[in-house]
Amino acid sequence: MDEEWVEGFRKWYARVPIVSPTGVERERSLSTIEASVAQLAAAINALPGEAARFKAIPSTEVNASPTLRLTIAQLASLFRYAIARPERANLARYLRAGVATWARPDALYDISTDPKRRQWFPEANVLALNPHGRRQTKKYRATIPVARQWRDDLDATEGFYVEVGSIRKAWLAMIEELGIYRRGETGEKLLRRSVSHLARKRIGEERWRQGEIMLGHHKASISDLYALPDPANLGLALSATEAIIDDIEHRTPGAFTAFLPRSKTATPKSRD
């Protein structure tokens, strides 16, 4: 296998569509193809005495930065879809957590009120996105103040907020039904990008450091949990989040207040 062979593989793989759980086909992206090339090279390099004679194209050359951001009205439509379907209760919880925290998908699945994980501090109205005992990575998880509209739901939770380890299939079905799909831009991270974009307009560039802390792009130096909601710390980001939630709730009543059934038999896979 050499560069010539891999070039043929790229052309062939580009013609193989990705099929969603609902049967909808979409083109395979360049980044997906190169990820497969990288895996193939790694497998060859792992063999004794073997070395791949080709390389994957760097991700910086094949990945285009997503430009799609959802409006308040579109975010409201996501909630309208989810809360109207009891079987989509975990999707609705995922949406609530995503808007309230701006967190990455993996962090949303990790949110728990289990005291052993030391994440939810109701007396300070603060949530640590990084559970106790988990080592921080370069994708830093912040400790943030909790929006007033989400607090009661979080308080009523025992254990993991989102009961399942993935809502990917439900997310894709929702995006397709609502006609929002755009190749390479409508994955679960769209929620984080959209909320932070809306919040940035409300906070302003001069105070955007608070947004960077919420996103985990900048580490806060605040050690006092009770000080986090202060406007001088993360209070402006909190106010922006609450205003966004109010706007969503206005368009979709129940987005953050509707009762969401919980499964009595659910046994979510470990997220540790």
Instruction: Return d(Cα 162, Cα 268) in angstroms, integer.
Output: 9
Q: Could you tell me if residue 262 is inside a domain?
A: no
Instruction: Assign residue 172 the CATH number of its domain.
Output: 1.10.443.10
- So what's the pLDDT on residue 249? 98
Clarify whether residues 46 and 115 are in a common domain. no
Q: Could you tell me if residue 79 is inside a domain?
A: yes
Total structural domains in the chain?
Answer: 2
Q: Strands 143-145 and 126-128: what pairing? A: antiparallel
Domain boundary at 62, 93, 113, which? 62
Clarify whether residues 78 and 209 are in a common domain. yes
Domain boundary at 18, 34, 62, which? 62
Question: Model pTM greater than 0.85?
Answer: no
Q: Could you tell me if residue 67 is inside a domain?
A: no
- So what's the pLDDT on residue 271? 52
Instruction: Return d(Cα 184, Cα 198) in angstroms, integer.
Output: 21
Identify the domain containing residue 169 by its residue range.
72-251
Clarify whether residues 108 and 37 are in a common domain. no
Tokens standing for 147?
């929006």
**8 A C-beta contact, residue 164 and residue 114:** no
- So what's the pLDDT on residue 272? 47
Instruction: Return d(Cα 71, Cα 50) in angstroms, integer.
Output: 51
Q: Which long-range contacts (CB under 8 A, 24 or more apart) does 146-151 make?
A: 146/100, 147/100, 147/238, 147/241, 147/242, 147/245, 148/242, 149/100, 149/242, 149/245, 149/246, 149/249, 149/256, 149/257, 150/96, 150/97, 150/100, 150/245, 150/256, 151/122, 151/125
Q: Cα 183 vs. chain centroid, distance in angstroms?
A: 17
Give residue-wise pLDDT tens across range 136-175. Answer: 999 999 999 999 999 999 999 999 999 999 999 999 999 9
Clarify whether residues 42 and 127 are in a common domain. no
Clarify whether residues 188 and 231 are in a common domain. yes
What percent of the chain is helix, strand and coil (3-state, nearest 5)? Answer: 50, 5, 45
Tokens standing for 19?
């099929």
Q: What is the mean pLDDT of each run of 10 residues along the chain (272 residues)?
A: 88 88 81 89 91 84 79 98 96 98 97 97 95 94 96 95 95 94 88 97 94 92 79 90 98 95 58 50
- So what's the pLDDT on residue 253? 98
